[in-house]
Amino acid sequence: MIKGVGTDIIEIGRFKALMDRHPKRFLQRLFTEKERNYCSKFKDSERHFTGRFSAKEAVAKALGCGFGASLSYQDISIENNELGKPIVTFSEEAKKRFDQPKIEVSLSHCQEFATATAIWF
């Protein structure tokens, strides 16, 4: 049974402009250390950061709460399994709050946009 679906799309150029204005503080607020390490190793890291941010937004929409009192950007981490497939991991607090959520996520990006879809089972 599907409990929720979320989707998001973001302009990479707009996200990059925000990254350029406050690089360290901006990235630390939105991404876990694992996410920052993964995305930073790419020459075009803004595409990877934007894709992961889009995935976090899609997950929050699937959970039906958005970001705020019940969910922070640090509660969600978009990582990869051994085959490179993106997977969603949650903080211990978020696992408790949402009763061990199982969410599948798909993300994609081109030169201009990053998009993601999340399904909560």
* Those residues with Cβ within 8 angstroms of residue 55's Cβ, 6 or more apart along the chain or in another chain: 8, 78, 86, 88, 105, 107, 116, 118
How far apart CA 9 and CA 14 sit, in angstroms, is 12
102 annotated active-site: no
With CA atoms as reference, report the closest residue to 88 among 54, 46, 47.
54
61 annotated active-site: yes
Annotated catalytic residue, options 3, 24, 102, 109: 109
Annotated catalytic residue, options 34, 41, 43, 61: 61
Which residues are tagged catalytic? 61, 109
